[in-house]
Amino acid sequence: MLSEEQKKDVAGRYFLPRNVEEAKRMQNQHEWVKGSAHGLILAPIDLKRSGMRVLDAATADGYWMKDAKRVFPEDTEFQYPPVDVFEIVQQNLIEEFPAAWNNAFDFVHQRFVIPLFKADEVPQVISHLAGCVKPGGWMQLVEMDFQTPVSQPIESCKAVQAFHKLTSSVVSDPLAATKLADRLSHAGFVNVDYKAVDMLAGSAHPDPELGERGLQNLLSILGFFQSFTGPEIIGFNEQEWTDLPKQLAEEMRKYHFALRVYFVWGQKPGEE
C-alpha cells in the first residue's frame, strides 16, 4: 500500500495533466465514458430550461465542458475552477469554495476524483460541491469502482486481477463510487439515484472504435501506475511486472473485459 503522502502525490500527477499527451488520453477516456453510458448527463435535469449555470469541478482541460455545451441550451453559462483553484485538487476541494458560488449553479458535475480522498475527507468535498447547487438544482458525480471485478471469465483474467489489485492499492478508497448515493442522501439531497455502467474495452465492446479507446486508455493508466510503483506492491516478480501491459492487452482482446463506473445524481431540495 502507498503512504498518504504518496497518494497525495498521485492525486497531483494523475488527475492534473500538464502535457499534451495526458490531455489527449483524458479526451480519449471522455469519449469512451460517454459512449459507454450513452451520454454525459444522466441526472434528470430539464435540459431545455434557459438561463442555467453549470459548474464542472476538477475540470482538467475543460473537455467535458466543451462537449456538454452541445447538450445544454445555448444561453447556459459554464464555469470551472481556474488553474490556481484546482492545481492542487486534493487540497483545494476540502477547502471552502468561493462565496460567489454559494447556491449559484443549476448543475454541478465532477468526475474521477473522489476515490483519492480519505473517508473522513469525502463528506467535506460533497458538502462544498453541494453548497454550489441552487435549490432545485442537480449534482452528478461519476466515479470508478476500482475493486469489483466484472470481467468474464475472471478466473482466466490474471492481468485484469492484477490491474484491480494495483489500482486498489493506490487510491484511498477503491469502493468510494459505491458509497456516493448514500453520501448524497446524507448531505440532504433528494431524488438520489444512480446507474452502474460496465464500460467494455477491447473486443468485448460492440463498437470497435470505443473498444479500442478503452483498451488504449487502460494501458495508459497502467503505464502511469507502473511509473511510480514496483512489482512488490502486487506480489509480482520483475518479469511478471514487465509483461503485465502485454498480458492486459491480450486479455482485453480475448475476453469480456469491463470496468464498472457509477453515475450518481441527486437534487437539492427547494424551488425548481
pLDDT tens digits, one per residue of 243-263: 999 999 999 999 999 999 999
| CA atoms of 189 and 126, how far apart (whole Å) | 11
* CB 143 within 8 Å of CB 180: yes
3-state SS string over the chain?
CCCHHHHHHHHHHHCCCCCHHHHHHHHHHHHHHHHHHCCCCCCCCCCCCCCCEEEEECCCCCHHHHHHCCCCCCCCEEECCCHHHHCCHHHHCCCCCCHHHCCCEEEEEEECCHHHCCCCCHHHHHHHHHHHEEEEEEEEEEEECCCCCCCECHHHCHHHHHHHHHHHHHCCCCCHHHHHHHHHHHCCCEEEEEEEEEEEEHHHCCCHHHHHHHHHHHHHHHHHHHHHCCHHHHCCCHHHHHHHHHHHHHHHHHCEEEEEEEEEEEECCCCC
What CATH code is assigned to 4-268?
3.40.50.150
pTM over 0.75: yes
Q: CA-CA distances (angstroms) from residue 19 to 25, 80, 82?
A: 10, 19, 17
Q: Rounded to the nearest 5 degrees, what angle is found at the Cα of 215, between the Cα atoms of 209 and 221?
A: 135
Closest alpha carbon to 180 in 271, 112, 133? 112
Rg (CA), the chain: 19
Residue pLDDT, tens place only, 130-173 = 999 999 999 999 999 999 999 999 999 999 999 999 999 988 89
Contacts of 173 (CB under 8 A, 6+ apart): 114, 115, 117, 118, 119, 122, 179
> Which residues, 6 or more positions from 48, have their beta carbon under 8 angstroms from its beta carbon?
73
pLDDT in tens, the chain (272 residues): 444 454 444 444 344 345 677 778 889 999 999 999 999 999 999 999 999 999 998 777 788 988 999 999 999 998 765 433 333 233 357 778 888 889 999 999 999 989 888 888 899 999 999 999 999 999 999 999 999 999 999 999 999 999 999 999 988 899 999 999 999 999 999 999 999 999 999 999 999 999 999 999 999 989 988 988 999 999 999 999 999 999 999 999 999 999 999 999 999 998 76
